Structure 1
Amino acid sequence: MLQTAFLILLIGTCLFAFLRGRTDERLAAGGMMLAALITPLAVSSGFASPETGVLGIDVALLTFLFIIALKSDRFWPLWAAGFHVVGTTIHLATFVEVDIWPPAYANAQGFWAWPVLAALFVGTLLEARYRNN
């Protein structure tokens, strides 16, 4: 149920970003959609051990969001990158503490995708409102 809700919000937010955003919003939406599409393919152990494939995707998305944040004249990419840093570092904790309960690892890692998505939505909303004034 939660995955379905996230997927609906992801598609809606990214569509909104493609239609009403500028380059930064569109690039971030594309990167987030791509990461969301390939992440399930990279899960190898069902979060029973460190998911190095998912970590690689998260590091790539973090790098992409960081580059957008460095080049952007808006604040939302900083928030998106900052939220994604937390989600990415959760993977690192599993290398230190290998006895993490798999559902806790999966939920903690997935939780931080919501604020990243919210940052994109709010950034697109403010951008669209700014251009309409």
Structure 2
Amino acid sequence: MFETTAAVVGLGLAILACGLAFWRGLWPERSAAAVILVGWVLSALVQSSQTFTPEWGVFWVDLVVLILFLGLLMRSRRLWLAPACAFQLLAVASHLAMLIDHRIAMNTYLMALSIWSLFILAALLAGALTARSARRRRDDAPLPPDRDPA
């Protein structure tokens, strides 16, 4: 999986974005970063050695990542998760397109997956960079009348 320059650069970007999310992020960013890193490792482990076949193992990993992202989106109010879920859904749809129509070129299939993963990392990066302001907004928000100590 990490035999090409693009794959190594992508892994480096994933480590940087996830590292920033662990450092500056709130629990949604940290959880998503953990899901992304585990997904990258699992994808490398289940990747098929056959060149021109759909990646069934990677499809299942991406589907589980999509479900976990949707769970995070439903539990948190962080807006960056919506585009991350959308891009992950596009990755799953790319797998399905390849499974349905074998005329799709392998390079097109792999490039689509690479592009969607970069957009997911960009969404995570945006979430990590805005996490501090979200924490400040949450901390500065007035208490509801029933919880106001005054």
Query: TM-score by structure 1 length?
Result: 0.92
Match of 1:95 among 91, 99, 118: 99
4+ residue runs over 3 A deviation = 129-133
CA distance in 1, matches of 2:51, 2:113: 10
Count of residues in Structure 1 that have an aligned counterpart in Structure 2 = 133
Q: Which runs of 5+ in 1 are unaligned?
A: none
Stretch of structure 1 that moved more, 94-103 or 41-50: 41-50
Tell me whether 1:62 sits opposite 2:76 in the alignment.
no
Query: Which protein has the bigger helix share?
Result: 1
Seq. identity, %: 30
**Preserved CA contact (<8 Å) 1:47 1:106:** no
RMSD, aligned α-carbons: 1.6
Tell me whether 1:30 sits opposite 2:34 in the alignment.
yes
Q: CA deviation at 1:129?
A: 3.8
Per the alignment, in what secondary structure is the counterpart of residue 59 of structure 1?
Answer: helix
Match of 1:77 among 68, 72, 81: 81
CA distance in 2, matches of 1:71, 1:22: 13
**Preserved CA contact (<8 Å) 1:45 1:51:** no
Structure index of larger Rg: 2
The corresponding residue for 1:12 is 16
C-alpha spacing 1:46/1:121, structure 2 compared with 1 (3 Å)? farther
Q: CA deviation at 1:45?
A: 4.6
Q: Which runs of 5+ in 2 are unaligned?
A: 138-150
Query: TM-score by structure 2 length?
Result: 0.82
CA distance in 2, matches of 1:28, 1:47: 30
